[in-house]
Chain A
Amino acid sequence: MLRSLTRTALRQGARISHRAIATTAVRPADASDLTIQEREQIYPKLGNRDIVGYGFNGNPVYIDREEWPAPAVRFRENTAEVQALRAKEQGDWKALTLEEKKGLYRASFRQTYAEMTAPTGEWKTVIAGLLLGLSFTGWVLIWMKTCVYPPMPRTITKEWQVAQAERMVKQRQGAVLGISSQWDYEKNEWK
């Protein structure tokens, strides 16, 4: 009894380790192989679209990106007219009109590259917002100056500073290395 139990347990253990090691790159089943319930559950937003590629990390999503020319899902659902175009696509492509070719393109892709890279004009909004912000801070500054800060000290004027320098020279402050060392007392001017 114990022996048979052990054997079974070992067999199961060995199988698990085999499975863990045997990793094969299996292509996920085409969505058309799934039943409707499975499809609804796994890809709730897919609708009647074809999954035609691997996608980002295996997620079949549609996205227009310049560095990703072929998304994993076709953009439009397989409606009757698209199916008719696909049937015609099987034949000679020279027989397709320009409209049909455009229809095929738009069935697979949402935007062309030119539309993806087209300028949006968004920079104008950005600049406008930036200038608005700057002018607002300017108004805040003006308000602070008029209503919040006390008046500037009387020493801030040019006349006051000149008079102070004169006074320091007259008092011979810094006669060796300071301000008075720069003053020529014989000629009464700066050296």
Chain B
Amino acid sequence: MLRSVASRLGSAVCSAARTNVQRTCAVTQVRYRHDVEESAEEFDNRYEAFFNRQDVDGWDIRKAMNDLQGLDLVPEPRIIVAALKACRRVNDYALAVRYMEAVQNKCGDKVGEIWPYLRQEIKPTLDELGILTPEEMGYDKPELAVEDVMDM
């Protein structure tokens, strides 16, 4: 009896382990390599393609915007254009304006040099989609004096 239980136990454990191993292997089909550095060009292409995906939704756009905001760079105009078009596809006007503000913020103290260039590059898209720049919205200066959440 014990022997039969033990042999069944053994075979069952083996088969379970085998299926587990197969499953774990199947999960990681993409092998991430750490010895290849992504060039700036590839980076821009990656984000542009991400925003240009036809099935992109608000979650993805927000995720990519938040990620881009955390990086030490100002996004290329073509990434911004793709992001604005993605906002148009998911019908989120506010997000488009918000992203331009975020990019302006990302320019730091060079905003006087970088933002005019970016605006000139994305101007055709803005006109095409009917998006106003933050300046045109009146958001380059504080509009409301809302209370700071830390003071509530």
Complex: how many Å from CA A98 to CA B62? Answer: 24
Residue of A nearest to B58 (CB): A52
Minimum CB–CB distance from B93 to chain A (whole Å) comes to 5
For B152, the chain A residues whose CB sits under 8 A away are none
For A120, the chain B residues whose CB sits under 8 A away are 148
- Partner-contacting stretch, out of B15-23, B33-41, B42-50: B15-23
Whether B142 lies near A69 (C-beta < 8 A) is: no
Whether B146 lies near A111 (C-beta < 8 A) is: yes
For B56, the chain A residues whose CB sits under 8 A away are none
Complex: how many Å from CA A92 to CA B129? Answer: 8
Minimum CB–CB distance from B111 to chain A (whole Å) comes to 11
Whether A18 lies near B137 (C-beta < 8 A) is: no
Complex: how many Å from CA A22 to CA B99? Answer: 36
Whether A112 lies near B12 (C-beta < 8 A) is: no
* Residue among B1, B63, B94, B142 facing the most chain A CB atoms (10 A cut-off): B94
Encode B44-76 as 1/0 by CB contact (under 8 A) with A.
Answer: 000000000000001101110110011000000
Taking the complex as formed, is A10 at the interface, i.e. its CB lies under 8 A from any CB of chain B? Answer: yes
Minimum CB–CB distance from B146 to chain A (whole Å) comes to 6
For B131, the chain A residues whose CB sits under 8 A away are 93
Taking the complex as formed, is B143 at the interface, i.e. its CB lies under 8 A from any CB of chain A? Answer: yes
Residue of B nearest to A10 (CB): B12
Taking the complex as formed, is A183 at the interface, i.e. its CB lies under 8 A from any CB of chain B? Answer: no
Whether A113 lies near B93 (C-beta < 8 A) is: no
Minimum CB–CB distance from A83 to chain B (whole Å) comes to 13
Residues 86-117 (chain A) with a chain B CB within 8 angstroms: 86, 89-90, 92-96, 98, 101-102, 104-105, 107-115, 117
Complex: how many Å from CA A141 to CA B16? Answer: 79
Which B residues fall within an 8 A CB radius of A?
1, 4-5, 8-9, 12-13, 15-16, 19-20, 23-24, 27, 58-59, 61-63, 65-66, 69-70, 88, 91-95, 97-99, 101-102, 104-105, 129-132, 134, 137-146, 148-149
**Given A95-B130, A111-B146, A118-B142; 18 other pairs, CB 8 A cutoff:** A2-B5, A7-B8, A21-B23, A22-B23, A53-B62, A53-B66, A64-B149, A69-B65, A69-B98, A69-B102, A70-B61, A70-B98, A98-B132, A102-B138, A105-B137, A107-B94, A114-B141, A115-B143
